Structure 1
Amino acid sequence: MEKELKKVYEHYQKNYFNDQVAVRIKDKVQHKINSEDMSQIEKMHHPRFTKKISYVIASCLVLFGLFIGSAFVSPTMAEVASKIPFLNKIFEQKPIYEVLREKLEDKGYEIVGTGYSVREKTYHVTVKGSEEYYNQVKEEIKIITEDVISSRRYDDFKVEVEQERTIDPNVDPANDPKYREMELALDVLKEVVPKLQQQGYKIHNYGGGYTGPDAKAIRLELDIEDTEKHTEEIEKAILEGIKKQDIKKDVSIKFHPFNVQERDIESKWTSDVLPVIWEGLLSKKEYKTKGVGYSYKKGTINIFITTTINKSDSEAPELANKIEIVIREFLQSDDLKDIVGSTPYKIVVRDKDSKDIN
């Protein structure tokens, strides 16, 4: 089953995974994080097509938020650097995934990609090629990766070098009857939704999925602006297309209304602000951070930091205060004025059992 689903993911990414679908999934992952530990993303790899892709997108969201930069070499630059707040240094410098990829590729290594796991505080490098090649280069790659990350003066991380998982070439979802009806349903969306958008319907992103090839129902989902009131007309047009394809499974359509302005604000925070905070706190032992997350409710960004200590520990208030100060210092800096603006935010520091400390 797992091999089949991997093949399905590869096929759907090639044929159906456009920018609109990417944004839709990104937004769903952002909401999935909500007020939970960011490591919950790792629990989303159930045998379901949409969750498989959500896991990939979630990994990318963390990956693209990670930053690393070049070292300061002159005494003057060192003095200037010492006055730059910790998180601002991360914000201003080159993304760590970019530096790491360039470093490894310059040395000729065949790299598929890099990523970061919050739960284990682990940087991952995936190597392309045979078992023999992987065994030959994995230790070298690990050393280089550790050096690149350590140059940031991070002291709370691990590195794992993994071999690319191959997909069974005998599984072909395009011609597999177990997946064929989902494929037809997605074809309908690809044909109908752009026409509806041209007619003025405020549909942004769309996609679909089901729990497995033997599921009795297909779920189609559409993100629409909260001012769009003609959902019955949209649903009718899609179901008419489904009927023409003679799809036997039950098809349900779910709408996800959203506020355009609020989504824009949330997108800026999740792209430019929160990943910097997460990287900084997770990668330094002094902050004793084991989990991060956020929620955006009633116009307020709530930032959640889960630590490794007990609320009853004597050091808990001091640690919570230290974490809150470093985050506020970053959010109130000139670098963040255009992004944070007047958006209210709240910083919540929790103990290891997710009890609020501050």
Structure 2
Amino acid sequence: MSEYRKLEIADWYDQHSKSILSFILLMVKDYQQAEDLTHDTFVKAYLYHNSFNQHSSERTWLFSIAHNLTVDFLRKRKPSRFFKEVFLLQKDNNLLPEEMIRIKEESSELYKALGEIKDTYRKVIVLRKIKGFSIEDTAKILSWSESKVKSTLFRAIPVLKKQLIKEGFLDEKTYEDTDLDISLKKLNADLMWKTKQKQELKKRIISDIEKLESQERNKNPLLLTRIKKVSLIRKITYSGIALIILLGLFIGSAFISPAMAEVVSKVSFINQIVQSLKETDDRKGKLDALYDEISKKLNENKEYKGKVEVGMSWLYSSEPPSFTVWVGDEDFKQEHEDEIKDIIFKCAKSYKIDRVEIVLEVRDKVEPSEKNKELEKLTDELLTITQEVVEEKGYTILASGVSMNPKKVSIKVGIEGTEKHYKEVKKQIEKHVHDVIYAKKHEKFEVEVKREGEDEIKGQNWQPIFTAVMEETHKKFKETNGFAYSFHPKPLEIILKTSLSKGEETKEQAERIEEYARQVVEIKRKELSVEAIPYKIIIRDKDHKKLYEKLHN
């Protein structure tokens, strides 16, 4: 099986590597980094091969892996450093070494202009206009709705044209949209990767694949960045949970044996975890309150009204939060940047949060066309109609989207019960929504209803547990720097990635991390009343190889 996987990855590399490398290059603007991420894309495709379900083409699947890796890479770089290195210094750095990759002169202006627009616009232009992906496949790659792909592309094209005009690369009066489409398609062909470089990277990928364990299983990375605001923070009483677990550890043993001594040594872990979980919840509550306070302070300032928007994110809640402030234009930014940062720093200090990261960004102002406005209005009306119909029938919409080509409304509804019951309800809702839309809007839209699968429900139930494991193990052991999980194949795999190297001492540390993670799982599972299922905790070293694992039934 592993030999078949390796051969298929090699075949996919021959077909798609140039396209993937150029996509990443257009995003990171650094050839060496683009090559490394291309390498990681194909190695990851090998590891995750079992999860490729052919619901999309292998090209779409590979691009989704490449996109996720690129986003992770860009996220880990500090915003200020990223801005300076990628945008301000690109003319001084040899980011396109000619011995490795070359771009034809007539496409170099377009390449530079793409580098100047924000990454959300750049990637949707690259995927739709340069790589030629359909709206559906682009949505899959970016994990967006189809309507978001369309609306973002509508906004992105005028921004790119404006940049090209600003740089003097095109004449506003004579340049047509069709000319831009042709130029974008041509850019794909004009980025030329040297054959020698391509073959050398292939050898490196195959060599690394051969070093991997033959039984490596597919992984599903957990989104690490928590974007404000997802949910309200609940205050939990932990002492009762700790008592139950402690009693469970001691009952059943009438004397202190060596095994019992080992158990006793783990009791402090439980106390630590219980206290740490409470501190984490307090910290998240504090971050929530801080965000609200900053938003309030900025909104109270009449000069900022309608010109400032703030967002907050963090990788781990125990680390400094990052604030992004979007402002209307460059002049406003220069005039008020220090003042805005001072407000945020003072608010943070009042909540006893000493370190925060702040970056101000100018939000592109693009007035949507009349056609765009009409599409957005129609989409909102269709979703409102759909929600009213579904709620009238006593069900809840979990997710929804609208496509204009073909005309289709897709909804995920919370329908419990047997498959037979689900199919009956599905048919009723689809017909009712279709009929009401036609009656009110005089347009025929296909309506598709789905419900959550067993794995989706299980994933939602376990999500707070996964988050706790990720947060608490990182707080306790700074070597832990990544997290993943997989429900397929069974049992559930909980994977902790670390910076550890192989060796006897590090194996002992891996065992400690595993035991700590297990106790976090059990505490959170009992707290949330989540059904017990077999699971395996896997600790990986810095090279992503298995260092230690243990099965828990």
Indicate which of 219, 235, 247 corresponds to 2:430. Answer: 235
Structure 2 partner of 1:350: 540
Structure 1 residue 136 and structure 2 residue 300: aligned? Answer: no
Separation of aligned partners in 1, 2:234 and 2:506 = 27
8 Å Cα contact 1:205-1:222 kept in structure 2? yes
Report 1:278-357 matches (<5 A): 278-283=470-475, 286-296=477-487, 302-309=493-500, 312=502, 316-333=506-523, 337-339=526-528, 342-344=531-533, 345-352=535-542, 354-357=544-547
Separation of aligned partners in 1, 2:410 and 2:471 = 35
Report 1:176-215 matches (<5 A): 176-197=373-394, 203-209=395-401, 215=405
- The structural deviation recorded for 1:160 is 2.2
* Structure 2 SS opposite 1:294: strand
* Structure 1 SS opposite 2:381: helix
Structure 2 partner of 1:270: 463
Partner amino acid, structure 1, of 2:442: D
- The structural deviation recorded for 1:291 is 1.7
Separation of aligned partners in 2, 1:305 and 1:62 = 24
Separation of aligned partners in 2, 1:165 and 1:174 = 26
- The structural deviation recorded for 1:90 is 2.7
Structure 1 partner of 2:443: 247
Separation of aligned partners in 1, 2:546 and 2:520 = 22
CA 1:233 to 1:45, structure 2 compared with 1: closer, same or farther past 3 Å?
closer
Separation of aligned partners in 1, 2:529 and 2:541 = 27
8 Å Cα contact 1:288-1:307 kept in structure 2? yes
Structure 1 partner of 2:298: 110
Separation of aligned partners in 2, 1:162 and 1:218 = 39
Report the identity percentage: 19
8 Å Cα contact 2:469-2:517 kept in structure 1? yes
Separation of aligned partners in 2, 1:146 and 1:215 = 51
- The structural deviation recorded for 1:301 is 5.1
CA 1:309 to 1:61, structure 2 compared with 1: closer, same or farther past 3 Å?
farther
- Structure in which a larger fraction of residues adopt helix: 2
CA 1:222 to 1:47, structure 2 compared with 1: closer, same or farther past 3 Å?
closer
* Structure 2 SS opposite 1:179: helix
8 Å Cα contact 1:225-1:259 kept in structure 2? no
8 Å Cα contact 2:277-2:472 kept in structure 1? no
Unaligned runs of 5+ in 2: 1-63, 76-140, 152-222, 236-267, 300-309
- The structural deviation recorded for 1:172 is 8.5
CA 1:138 to 1:301, structure 2 compared with 1: closer, same or farther past 3 Å?
farther
> What is the root-mean-square deviation of aligned Cα atoms in Å?
4.9
CA 1:161 to 1:218, structure 2 compared with 1: closer, same or farther past 3 Å?
farther
CA 1:167 to 1:97, structure 2 compared with 1: closer, same or farther past 3 Å?
farther
Structure 1 partner of 2:322: 124
TM-score (norm 2): 0.40
Cα deviation code 1:288-332 (max 9, x no counterpart): 22222334569965422222345x555553343121111123334
Report 1:32-51 matches (<5 A): 44=142
Separation of aligned partners in 1, 2:468 and 2:543 = 24
Separation of aligned partners in 2, 1:299 and 1:115 = 33
8 Å Cα contact 1:221-1:254 kept in structure 2? yes
8 Å Cα contact 2:497-2:542 kept in structure 1? yes
Unaligned runs of 5+ in 1: 1-31, 68-81, 152-157, 198-202
- The structural deviation recorded for 1:115 is 1.9
- Structure in which a larger fraction of residues adopt strand: 1
- The structural deviation recorded for 1:189 is 0.6
Separation of aligned partners in 1, 2:271 and 2:364 = 45
8 Å Cα contact 1:349-1:356 kept in structure 2? yes
* Structure 1 SS opposite 2:357: strand
Separation of aligned partners in 1, 2:338 and 2:143 = 27
* Structure 1 SS opposite 2:423: coil
Structure 1 residue 96 and structure 2 residue 291: aligned? Answer: no
Structure 2 partner of 1:59: 227
CA 1:60 to 1:340, structure 2 compared with 1: closer, same or farther past 3 Å?
farther
Partner amino acid, structure 2, of 1:123: P
8 Å Cα contact 2:226-2:314 kept in structure 1? no
Q: Which moved more, 1:168-177 or 1:127-136?
A: 168-177
TM-score (norm 1): 0.58
Separation of aligned partners in 2, 1:348 and 1:330 = 14
Cα deviation code 1:115-156 (max 9, x no counterpart): 2136xx7621245775243323426746985997988xxxxx
Partner amino acid, structure 2, of 1:220: S
8 Å Cα contact 2:510-2:539 kept in structure 1? yes
